């Protein structure tokens, strides 16, 4: 069984995965009031609009909180750092921190997005800011 289950986006999530395929972290912006909405929803919670545009995120953010996740049935698998990332645009998303030792992770640390091919699926991941060449 693959370690990553490929995303099966619904119509409200397709933009996000299209962005990932193109190496962009896209955010959904309400065409009615301009609110950024993540995770996506069919209707803007602020103004009720169902019209959306997208904007490319800078990819920069900070760690809001994080955990070390160990696989329940494959204990030999490497543990993953799962984090809540506050993007500088003002929305929060769940991702993994990679290329960093869990002992070096701290709340508020600066991170940036990268895109990695994991078990055949391209995923957005975050690394310490400035760590990418």
List interacting residues with Zn ion (CB under 5 A). Answer: 30, 32-33, 35, 44, 46-47, 49
Q: How far is the CB of 92 from Zn ion (least distance, A)?
A: 18
**Is the CB of 53 or the CB of 69 nearer to Zn ion?**
53
**Is the CB of 47 or the CB of 110 nearer to Zn ion?**
47
Q: How far is the CB of 50 from Zn ion (least distance, A)?
A: 9
**Is the CB of 6 or the CB of 90 nearer to Zn ion?**
90
**Is the CB of 33 or the CB of 67 nearer to Zn ion?**
33
Q: How far is the CB of 43 from Zn ion (least distance, A)?
A: 9
Q: Which of 82, 53, 58 is nearest to 70 (CA)?
A: 82
Q: How far is the CB of 29 from Zn ion (least distance, A)?
A: 9
Nearest-angstrom CA–CA distance, 29 and 107: 27
């Amino acid at each position: 069984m693959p370690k990553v289950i490929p995303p099966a986006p619904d119509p409200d999530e397709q933009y996000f995965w299209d962005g990932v395929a193109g190496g962009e972290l896209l955010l959904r912006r309400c065409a009615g009031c301009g609110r950024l909405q993540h995770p996506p929803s069919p209707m803007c919670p602020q103004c009720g609009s169902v019209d959306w545009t997208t904007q490319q995120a800078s990819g920069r953010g900070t760690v809001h909180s994080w955990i070390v996740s160990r696989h329940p049935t494959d204990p030999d698998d490497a543990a993953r750092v799962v984090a809540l990332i506050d993007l500088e645009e003002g929305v929060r998303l769940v991702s993994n921190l990679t290329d960093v030792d869990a002992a070096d992770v701290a709340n508020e640390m600066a991170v940036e997005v990268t895109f990695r091919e994991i078990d055949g699926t391209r995923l957005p991941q975050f690394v310490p800011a400035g760590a990418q060449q």
